[in-house]
Amino acid sequence: MKLRMALLAFTAVALTGCASFVAPTYSPDYPSIDRLKAAQLGKVAVGEFQPRSAEAPVNKITLRGAPFVSSNGSFAQYLEDAIRSDLTELRVLDPKSETRIDATLLKNDIDVSGINTGEGLMEVRLSVIKRGQTVHDKIYSAKTQFESSFAAAVAVPKGQSEYPRLVRSLLQTIYADPAFITAVKP
């Protein structure tokens, strides 16, 4: 019986190692969007979000050995698209604006190696450039925790589904920062 269970567990882990998992689509955190609307932001452009290379360490996440990828090409692009989505929702996105947001993804991981708990970690250096001058430059981070499992068949899909929540958590931190709000006001 123990041998059968061990073989079953090994097979489940081996099979998940063969598959590639894609990050689910981001959806905005509407309470954060509402707070930003109340702040009456100015028009904002989205600039460079780095690194774009699929070989960059922050763009290479594995979930129990299975590759976890962004459908956007890189996780920096995923973050850029999330901010772009939020700014579009706010109706302040303007590619010609003199106020621009740039970012560099410094840390990015979903860890499902725990027996009962998984964790997400993201860190980004975000800059706001206004009329060619950097008016805001700060490192933001977010850490999330979620229920996971020893079984890879449960832990891997759970880690996959948690990625948008990690991005929302990071963006909530950024959007709640008075210095960021001041930097993007007209």
**Domains, the chain, ordered by start:** 2-184 (3.40.50)
Give tens-digit pLDDT for 134-153: 999 999 999 998 888 777 77
Question: H or E element: which one contains 86?
Answer: helix 75-90
Give tens-digit pLDDT for 148-185: 877 777 777 787 888 999 999 999 999 999 999 999 99
Burial of 181 (0-12, 13-18, 19+ CB in 10 A): middle
CA distance 24 to 156: 13
| Residue (of 167, 169, 128, 35) closest to 90 by Cα position | 35
Mean pLDDT of the chain: 88
Contact 158, 146 (CB under 8 A): yes
Percentage, residues of the chain above pLDDT 70: 90
Q: What is the amino acid identity at position 18?
A: C
pTM of the shown model = 0.85
Burial of 6 (0-12, 13-18, 19+ CB in 10 A): exposed
